[in-house]
Amino acid sequence: MSRVEVEKKVLNENQILAGQLRDRYRISGVLCVNLISAPGSGKTLLLEKTLERMDKAARVAVLTGDLQTENDAQRLAKFGFPVKQIVTGGTCHLDARMVEKHLAAWNLEHLDLLVVENVGNLVCPSSYDLGEDAKIVLLSTTEGEDKPLKYPSIFFKSELMVLTKIDLLPYVPFKAELAKENARRVHPQMEIIEVSSTTGEGLDKWMSWLERRREQKLATP
């Protein structure tokens, strides 16, 4: 019996496709962010408020993933920006092939920002590179403060944590400082923004984070 060293990524095919997407985004100057959270943390509502605040001439598009239904795409389409639903038919995460396929009809040269809303799940999406510039994880105040410790992989891989539903803080036992501390224990460099999509608090910070992140990307050779 002999042993052959291999040294290959298990998700090699996905990595290759994600690399191609990343190249395309770079060439076209598109910032791509991948929004990840548990179901019900407020990804779609945050996106609605984001699109609502965008200049009508903004060059933004959204891909939104779900196991079933076109509901989220319908919610997001009313703002006039290009939106496409990815129905995974049961798969618990998006992969690079699904993103590539659904991007096919769009010209990336006409975009500055592409938001991918992943399937609501804190586990599986963390393994699949979509070619994004940044993963962004949402945690809402109606969840547990220890979620970053329970799902370290996604909190480690995310550049930014958006703490949502902060308007509910007076009514829930959630300790925001503890949640932030837990996120930074998993990922000491984590950036954190607190928002309420309902009252609008913190949305300015979120919008300027996106803008700054794109400028930062364009400035990087």
Partner 1 sequence: MHELGIASSILECVQKEVERYPGVHISKVGVKIGELAGVDVDALQFGFECIVKDSELEPLALEVELIPRVQRCPKCNNEFRMADFDPHCPQCGEFATQCIGGEELDIAYMEVDE
Query: Which residues sit at the interface with partner 1, rule CB under 8 A?
Result: 1-13, 91-93, 123-124, 126-128, 149, 151-154, 156-157, 182, 184-186, 188-189
Residue listed under structure tokens 């009508």: 56
> Considering the complex, what minimum distance in angstroms separates the CB of residue 40 from partner 1?
18
Closer by beta carbon to partner 1, 1 or else 219: 1
> Considering the complex, what minimum distance in angstroms separates the CB of residue 202 from partner 1?
24
CA dist., res. 145 & res. 203, Å (int)? 22
Closer by beta carbon to partner 1, 14 or else 196: 14
> Considering the complex, what minimum distance in angstroms separates the CB of residue 32 from partner 1?
20
> Considering the complex, what minimum distance in angstroms separates the CB of residue 90 from partner 1?
10
Mapped onto helix, strand or coil, the DSSP state of residue 142 is coil
CA dist., res. 107 & res. 137, Å (int)? 27
Q: What residues contact 26, with CB distance under 8 A and at least 6 apart?
A: 217
Closer by beta carbon to partner 1, 60 or else 154: 154
Contact between 117 and 64 (Cβ < 8 Å)? yes
Closer by beta carbon to partner 1, 11 or else 45: 11
> Considering the complex, what minimum distance in angstroms separates the CB of residue 11 from partner 1?
6
Q: What residues contact 139, with CB distance under 8 A and at least 6 apart?
A: 37, 41, 147, 148, 161, 162, 163, 164, 179, 183
Contact between 66 and 90 (Cβ < 8 Å)? no
193 φ, ψ (degrees, to nearest 5): -125, 135
Closer by beta carbon to partner 1, 106 or else 156: 156
